[in-house]
Every structure is written in C-alpha cells, then in structure tokens.
Amino acid sequence: MNQANITKIYARNDSRIQLKVIPGHFVTSQSHITHYLDLTTMKSRTAEAQRIAHELASNYEVSTPIDTIICMDGLEVIGAYLSEELTKAGIFSMNAHQTIYVITPEFGNSGQLIFRDNYQPMIKGKNILILNGSITTGSTLSKTIESVLYYGGIIRGVAAIFSRVDSIASLPVHAIFKAKDVPDYHSYPSNNCPMCQKKQKIDALVSGYGYSTL
C-alpha cells in the first residue's frame, strides 16, 4: 500500500482534525472499498482524540441523558474524552453513580456482538451512545444496535468520525466527516466489485482496527 498517496481532509469546524485517506482496492468483512481511511493517530494521540471528542460532543443537547458510551473500532481513548466533554457540557447520567461508563463489546464466532455478564448492568436500562470509527454500509452498526436492544439498552445516539450514511433505524448519525468530504469513496459488494472485474490488485484487508497488506 503506497503511503505516498495519502490525502489529508480537514474538518470544517477544526482544521487540526485531519482525516487521512489512501486510494486503492481494499477488502472489508462487508464489502470492497476504494479508499482506506487511516484513523490510527486519531485513536492513539491524546491531543487528536480530545479534539474529536470535543467536536462530537457538540451534537448532543443537555436534555439527552447518556449513561454508557459503547466504543467500536478501538475508539476507547476518544470515548473516554467524549465522556468528559459530555459531562462538562452538562449531559447527565441516570445511573446510581452519576457517571458515564465507557465499554467495548466482544465479537462472537458468528460476528455477533457480545457483552459479558459483568458488563451487562452497564447496558440494561441504560441510555447508550454508540461511537464508531467509520460507517460504510451500516451493516456492522445495525448489528451493534440489535445487540444493544437485545441486552436492554436504550439508544440515545450514534456518533462517528466518518459516515457514508446520515441515519440508520431512524437514528441520526452525527459524523465529523461525511460522504461529500470524500466524494470518490465507493463501496461495492464482494461479488460485484468493478475493481475485481478489472483485475485490480487488492492492496490490503482492512477493519476498524487497521489494515494488513497482501
């Protein structure tokens, strides 16, 4: 994968938030995509994580209760800062400890999201904010929503760094970067990928946690 082709896209409200975009032929568990969105430094540099959390927190009103942030794609650092930003903004928690939980699910062998018994009290009857890295087709997000509802959670919001969808299951998706920010970004079913049809080499296997070159 040619790192020299990286393009940086700047957030509208804070130019210090930069999305790194690499063109190519990439394979996810759901589809084939034309660009890899590198969120590595966003997730691991505390200064960047704090700026992202501040930007995402601005989408939620004081009247929206949030007890638990479910972090997908390795976004625990951003999730922790987001809990601080929401608390500073006056967002209240309805749990007995008057604080926001920050947790991560597991994935079972079938791809189903699992919350172990010790984490289930942080879901059942709690107001949930789902935090994603990137949302392409919405398939993984749908599974997350189904899992939260199964465990008795009340979904109050969905946040993401990048999203190609504006809403899912009647829930608005608040994202810093949207499809119009990466207009050449396309997603195709694995059995109908024009890049495969053109015999274009696959550059890497990618997930919310990173990439593995072939």
Exposure string over 105-135, b if 16+ CB within 10 A, otherwise e: beeeeeeebebeeebeebbeebbbbbbbbbb
Cα–Cα dist 96/88, whole Å? 19
Angle at 106 between CA 105 and CA 112, to 5 degrees: 100
CATH number at residue 17: 3.40.50.2020
CA distance 200 to 108: 32
How many structural domains comprise the chain? 1
At 90 the pLDDT is 78
Cα-to-chain-centroid distance, residue 145: 13
Q: Cα separation of 54 and 34, whole Å?
A: 29
Query: What is the C-alpha to C-alpha distance for residues 66 and 110, in angstroms, rounded to an integer?
Result: 29
Residues 76-106: pLDDT tens digits?
Answer: 999 999 999 998 877 766 665 678 999 999 9
CA–CA separation, 134 and 40 (whole Å): 12
**Residue 146 has what pLDDT?**
93
At 4 the pLDDT is 67
The pLDDT value given to residue 187? 93
pLDDT of residue 212: 93
- pLDDT lower than 70: segments of the chain: 1-4, 92-97
Structure pTM? 0.91
User: Could you tell me the residue range of the domain that residue 39 belongs to?
Assistant: 3-213
